[in-house]
Amino acid sequence: MPPGHPTPVRVLLRGLELIQVLNRYGPLTTAALSQRLRLARTTVNRCLATLEATDFVVRLPNRRYQLTLKATMLSHGFDATTERLEPIRRAMHASSARVQWPMSLMTPRFPELFIEDSTDRESGFAVEYFERGMHVPVLTTASGRAIIAFSSPRVRETLLEYLWPNRPEETMTLWPDRVALDRDIAAMRERGYARATRPLRLTEQGSIAVPVIVDGEAVAALAVRFALSAVSFDDARKRMVPALQEIVLGRNA
């Protein structure tokens, strides 16, 4: 420390280091944290107990600890909508073992989507990691399509006023004109979810997303990604859509 600087509060430094490790490596057990921090497990347990009591970390069903929204907002700032998504985030992680395939929670940050959280590091089937803070396109993703489809007509038209003239070339076959897009939006609203397909190196990746509705507007989408060589869209509709809807609607339980 610089000369004349107050003596550092070691327990505070340990708590900050613990938060850094959880932010970088995702949910970890006490043993894993102890190893990475090179601290006694009893010290790590005391730090975790303090952070859990103050709602900066949460213990998951698999005995791993994860940062809460309160902790992530230390760097990303306060957002009232994001705060209302916290119960969904927790339910998503609690359901990760049951769903198995990676899930992600996204919100619109015009003109893209912002990844609020994901279960990628808890899933053995993730071939790429979607991390908080990453941005993804709107029209080519199931999450973006769900948000567009389930927004109010006024909000939808405002979004499409920008997105449609600048749409990716890959969407032009799917929607050659606005009539085709409007027809697809109506179908999404009727079935309650959106879907998308993306080529990977060895197979195609399918994704399904359901909207998160707050005060009549789609403020987020919860999606699951899966290999189409292992799970068909029909299987995903039967098995995964109910799980996603349960997670989203559970916030009001």
Tell me: the pLDDT tens digits for 149-198?
Answer: 999 998 899 889 889 998 999 999 999 999 999 999 999 999 999 999 99
Give residue 93's pLDDT band: very low, low, confident or very high (50, 70, 90).
very high
Q: Which domain holds residue 25?
A: 10-67
Rounded Cα gap, residues 57 and 22, in angstroms: 9
Rounded Cα gap, residues 127 and 48, in angstroms: 30
Check whether residue 24 and residue 101 sit in a common domain. no
Assess if residue 5 is contained within a domain: no
Mean predicted lDDT score pLDDT of the chain? 88
Q: What is the pLDDT of residue 244?
A: 97
Assess if residue 3 is contained within a domain: no
Rounded Cα gap, residues 19 and 12, in angstroms: 11
Q: What is the pLDDT of residue 188?
A: 97
Check whether residue 102 and residue 222 sit in a common domain. yes
CATH number at residue 40: 1.10.10.10
Check whether residue 49 and residue 94 sit in a common domain. no
The answer to whether the pTM exceeds 0.95 is: no
Torsion of CA 61, 63, 64, 68, to 10 degrees: 50
